[in-house]
Amino acid sequence: MKNANYGKNFKLGMLGGGQLGQMFIQQAMNFDVRVHCLDPDPDAPCADLASSFTVGSLTDFDTVYSFGKSKDLLTIEIENVNIDALDLLQKEGKIIFPSPRTLRIIQDKGLQKEFYAANNLPTAGFSIFNSKAEIQQTKNFPFVQKLRTGGYDGKGVQVIRNQNDFEKLFDAPSIVEEMIPFIKELSVIVSRNQNGQTAVYPTVECEFNPDANLVEFLFSPADISENIEKKAQEIALDVINKLDFVGILAVELFLTESGEILINEVAPRPHNSGHQTIEGNITSQFEQHLRSILNWPLGSTDIIQPSVMINLLGSANFQGKAYYENLEDILQLSGVHIHLYGKEFTKPFRKMGHVTICHKEIEEAKKIARQVKEKLKVISL
Ligand SMILES: Nc1ncnc2c1ncn2[C@@H]1O[C@H](COP(=O)(O)OP(=O)(O)OP(=O)(O)O)[C@@H](O)[C@H]1O
Ligand SMILES: [Mg+2]
């Protein structure tokens, strides 16, 4: 790939066709890059946006292999994909970013933690177990149990406070982590191209909804000292370089009372904690991902305006055809950007969209965000 001219004859294949894919396609279109998706759900957000949409399993070897075979470059928007098929495609000469090797490490929380330990990257202490029976020997309460593979949005993660909690232990290969009494959860998005050029975004701060275990509010930039900002960005750069990763990488971090920063986990794709970059930063995380996998120069990560991002989740008591209550009211508020993911049906806590509020004063953006949060509801009629 020698220049930035692609057009119809170049097929960028993407494993996954969800909302991350939707926002990626929106940016790829600006560069005349055609995106072709594979997703098991015929109604996935990318179904009628992709240049072609293949319905099929992301974890099935043959499906991923034959999808990949007919594309010029492959990428992902979800990490739970068949890596054996990607390995074979790569051996046969297909260009795949992020590489199957890095996906294999990241897909398994056990391998991921071992990578941090082996590379001197700060992370919570951990042990690896194969079954519930083995974990029952553990005496250091409280601890966090995480399934090695397949967990997402907090599913597959649980806190074990004492022996009474043992009955709820997952009986599957998992890791047990020291519980970190963090004061903030931070995230740094970083990208790298094949030339080794890197670009790091300013750190953001995430506030979780304890019921849904999903990000409720995200603040950009994070309210942290310059010193912490520098440390967080250095860690993110260190991880991406040590992984020899190409693409966009989200680095989830814990900040402790004493100013220590620990890596929680990384995601090898655009991430929920980078949605505000679409309007809030000079280059969005989606455009940056495209630039990095095509080995183009990376864009500026600077913040244009502070922003607050809210996930628009399905309301707790509604299931059925989605209706966005008070949408017109919130459009009257200044600096409000709506993103709906085109999902026809809502269910409790399903990610249906997000809203980014930009303002030159972050405190003002927070006030408007609270109003949006109160008014805009996803229900079904
Ligand atoms: N060692 C820990 N100490 C304290 N809290 C933790 C620890 N590990 C995870 N958590 C909490 O649990 C949440 C989910 O954990 P983690 O990010 O590992 O799971 P996940 O399901 O892969 O996440 P997601 O898909 O939401 O990013 C974290 O955001 C954090 O709030
Ligand atoms: Mg996480």
Q: Is 156's C-beta closer than 6 angstroms to any atom of ligand 1? A: yes
DSSP 152: B
- Confirm or reject: Cβ of 72 under 6 Å from ligand 1: no
The neighbourhood of ligand 2, an ion, using CB within 5 A, equals 252
What's the pLDDT at 150? 86
125-178: CATH class: alpha beta
What local confidence, expressed as pLDDT, does residue 208 receive?
A: 84
Residue of 262, 264, 272 best suited for mutating to test ligand 1, as the one with most atoms within 8 Å of CB: 264
pLDDT in the model for residue 354: 98
d(CA 87, CA 85): 5
Nearest CA to ligand 1 atom 22: 152
- For domain 182-380, say whether CATH 3.30.470.20 is its number: yes
Ligand 1 pocket check for 50: Cβ under 6 Å: no
CATH code for the domain defined by 11-96: 3.40.50.20
Q: What is the model's pLDDT at position 214?
A: 78
How many Å apart are CA 137 and CA 237, to the nearest integer? 37
* Closest approach atom of ligand 1 to CA 208: 31
Helical H segments across 47-204, by residue range: 61-69, 83-91, 100-107, 109-118, 132-135
Ligand 1 centroid – CA 188 distance (Å): 15
Q: What is the pLDDT of residue 4?
A: 65
Cβ neighbours for 33, distance < 8 A, ≥ 6 positions apart: 6, 10, 12, 290, 294
Q: Burial of 287 by CB count in 10 Å (0-12 exposed, 13-18 middle, 19+ buried)?
A: buried
134-163 pLDDT per residue, tens: 999 888 999 999 999 988 888 899 999 999
What residues does each domain of the chain span? 11-96, 125-178, 182-380
CA of 138 to the centre of ligand 2 (A): 24
Residue 352's pLDDT is 97
Dihedral (CA of 311, 312, 317, 322) sign: negative
Return the best residue to mutate from 157, 174, 206, 254 for the ligand 1 pocket (most ligand atoms within 8 A of CB): 157
Regions of the chain short of the pLDDT cut 50:
none
- Residue 286's pLDDT is 98
Q: Is 151 in the pocket of ligand 1 (CB under 6 A)?
A: yes
> Atom 28 in ligand 1: which residue has the minimum CA distance?
154
What does the pLDDT read at residue 51?
Answer: 98
Q: What pLDDT does residue 3 have?
A: 60
